[in-house]
Amino acid sequence: MNVLFIGNSHTFVHYVPLRVQAFAAAHGRQLDAVMLTHPGMGLDWHLEQSQTYFNLMTGGYDAVVLQHNAHPFPGRDSLLAAGERLIALVPEGTKPYLYMTWSEKVNPQGQEAMSAAYEELAAKTGAAVCPVGRIWQQVAAAHPEEDLYFADGEHSSVLGASLAAAVIGRTLLGLERTPEICYKDAKELEQLPQDPRMIDLVVQEDGELGLESGV
């Protein structure tokens, strides 16, 4: 299964596509992931990039996973406008999936608007929803001892990225997606070693967020 991931840091931090690939392998499926991401950019930005068109038109992907801005979430109209345009480019034979992200740690009440917007886009376009945000909130409530967030309260911890990968992987493979099953998967994916040459999110000495290789 060939899958293209289009998004921003909520896709590349702790390499969600790599964790989806590992999840599929653990379930006896080969999944080859390609990632097009840029920090802070949404689907509207990706619509202006030539590599988006090139990959969609020539990549022969079975699925494309789309992720819009999350923090702050720019709202329903922004997601629908960019999402409908991008999904219209998806060639026949490639199934679009929507990576529903999570609201900020200090803004749990923002989840409903984000989730509803992704579900509306799916209803309008026939895309499938990977309901990461909804399951994230349920897992966080059931396991308060765990922290799904990175230090900034916006990005994911390794466990949070692993949970996102479990939800996406289960959606791609058509498997059950209860919070407890996804949490169990996430705890396993949390142990996945990362190539030290990869770039990931870190907290620098001055307290600012940055990118560093080998984290």
Amino acid at 15: Y
The enclosing domain of 83 has a CATH number of 3.40.50.1110
Range of the domain at 202: 2-213
What is the rounded average pLDDT for all residues in the chain? 94
**pLDDT at residue 111, as a whole number:** 98
Domain count, the chain: 1
pLDDT tens, 87-141? 999 999 999 999 999 999 999 999 999 999 999 999 999 999 999 999 999 999 9
The answer to whether the CB of 127 falls within 8 A of the CB of 100 is: no
CA 70, CA 99: separation in Å to the nearest integer? 11
- For the record, the structure tokens of 42 come out as 């949404």
pLDDT class of 195 with cuts at 50, 70, 90: confident
Rounded to whole angstroms, how far apart are CA atoms 77 and 79? 6
Tens digits of residue pLDDT in 37-60: 999 999 999 999 999 999 999 999
Contact in structure between 27 and 173 (CB atoms under 8 Å)? yes
CB 127 within 8 Å of CB 96:
yes
For the chain, what is the total number of helices (H) and then of strands (E)?
9, 7
